[in-house]
Amino acid sequence: MADSSADRLAVIHRHLTKDSGDKVAPKIPSSIPKKRQELLRWNGWGYEDSGFVLNNLGTGQHPKYDIIFSGSRYEIASADLPHLYDWACTIIGVHPEKKKDPQGEPSYPEPILNEGFVNDLKNTSMTFSFEGMDRLFRAHGHTLHDIALLRGGQFLRIPDVVVWPECHSHVEELVALASKYNVAVVPIGGGTNVTGAVDCKRNEQRMIVSLDTSQMNQILWIDDGNLVAHVESGIIGKDLEDRLQKRGYTTGHEPDSYEFSSLGGWVATRASGMKKNRYGNIEDLVVALRAVTPSGEWRSSGTYPRVSTGPDMNHVMIGSEGTLGVITEVTIKIRPIPPLRKYASFVFPDFDCGVKFMRQVARDRCQPASLRLMDNQQFQFGQALRPSKGPFGLIVDGLKNFYLTRLKGLDIKKICVATIVMEGTIKEVAVQEEKLNTIGLEFQGIPAGENNGKRGYQLTFAIAYIRDIVLNYGVVAESFETSVPWDRVVNVVNNTKSRLEKECADRKFSHSFISARVTQVYDAGACIYFYFAFNYGTMSMLQAVEVYEELEIIARNEIMASGGSLSHHHGVGKIRKKWLPSILTSNAINVLHSIKNTVDPQNIMAAGNLVFD
């Protein structure tokens, strides 16, 4: 038995640095390089070689336009998309003559340098960069405002240096230096946030360090008996899955951004994945964590399945958005790869029927790994993305349309679609499928096949690129989300869409697009995603972004007035912090400030998110 504090700490340390019996593996490089611009698009989403492209297949006098998806990383890249251009022209007013090319690489603000800090940094083993593009790449996330500035404006404040620590002790050393010289630190993982979480505060006069965790990307150990893995926080989601799957495991955590987002970013923002029904949200997956605060190390007491020792201190860091410290290591639950994955889909007469289906599935607790419901507008968009699949593809589509509208009597302008992913043993999936079919038929659902379910799930990763192409043609677009009790789901969707439709009409936009989908289901409610776009006509892009931001505030107020939350999984960052005083009590805010003053009295962790300046 450990009799002293030192003995107890030694036992805890052994528990957290468990040796799985494996030899120490050589360091595996991240799939995202330090020079992110070598692989990723610096002024848009995703890979540089991937994205939607508008082409003219005809001549000057006889143009013939279509939209394709470039590259070879996604299944959609090899497909003919004969309907997408017509949809883009008709629904959101995309026209080739309206193309607005983005600006080239901008100039960069001169860095603010703290001489003592820089000199000490040079004496460490950490790599760092003062190059403009490296600094710019870590100055933003992926809000519409961020991308618009990259394409047609300029960031007034960006990090002064980028530093790449490679382990927990490096982070301790770096944060200690920052505290010594009163230098601001903003951690960044994958940089995929959509809340302004890593944007630098314009009035920050201190030197700003962007602490890039991407080189802290190792799986330190895997415990096969307890089904947990201890992993450095900077690992990219796809890398984590690829490496675990080689050992026969999965985390099951698949946010839309998992190709680019990091484990630490998931924890810091309380992220959710598409398969949370089977595997849980990130707060359900985290068993223990380790972090560095300016006042010292923050560490879980052990890798226990559950404890009753007062408030859960893990949850102080989970969702802290870089304001209290740097999450460096996470012990996360893993599961054996399920032997079977099967897709399915249902068509419902209208959105109300679809929501009732989702509610019953949750009530009966037979949720598959993923269950999502698209409204009619998203269904129509999905139809625009369907490939022709050879000379008979359009004929087959016509037959399907005839079956649904004539034989089944459905209104093509009202129907919605649920896409389903089932995972487990053959027996488990068979039971899930039978239950879902029974509930689907109860609410007038028509089975729409495995291929539609699979395609709907896989398109999620490619659809993220759509905003970049429409920005080139005078359209601003963005998504936002909320969580809602079941009895408010339909009202929140209808009220929010109606309010935005009215605002667009009042502003006389020539084209707009407003859609919603239910993406996650719970016993007590659901997550709703909204997608909103409008053609901004003669406005400049930056003016249009200002108008969009006004409209999103109106939409958020409508969501909350109708019974929705401030955020389900995107987090708060800077763009939603204005609402926190209305949803947190003054006591709760005071508690957060007390924690901040305890672990970071100098405000070294100066991201400025949540309730903090």
The active-site residue out of 457, 529, 536, 548 is: 529
Looking only at the bridges linking them, the beta strands covering 184-188 and 161-164 are: unpaired
Measured between alpha carbons, how far is residue 244 from residues 16, 228, 465 in Å? Answer: 19, 11, 27
Q: Hey, how many other C-beta atoms are within 10 angstroms of the C-beta on 404?
A: 18
Q: Which residues pair with 230 in a beta bridge?
A: 221, 331
Looking only at the bridges linking them, the beta strands covering 228-232 and 219-223 are: antiparallel
Helix (H) or strand (E) holding 222: strand 219-223
Tokens at 539, concatenated = 């406005």
Tokens at 574, concatenated = 């800077």
Give 238-257 as a 3 state SS string: HHHHHHHHHCCEECCCCCCC
- Mind giving me the DSSP string for 181-203? HT-EEEEESS---SSSTTPPPTT
Whole-angstrom Cα distance, residue 107 to residue 456?
Answer: 41
Torsion of CA 390, 391, 396, 401, to 10 degrees: 100
Whole-angstrom Cα distance, residue 389 to residue 362?
Answer: 36
Measured between alpha carbons, how far is residue 360 from residues 367, 441, 524, 525 in Å? Answer: 10, 12, 11, 11
47 catalytic? Reply is: no
Look up residue 80 and give its amino acid. Answer: D
**Active site residue ranges:** 529
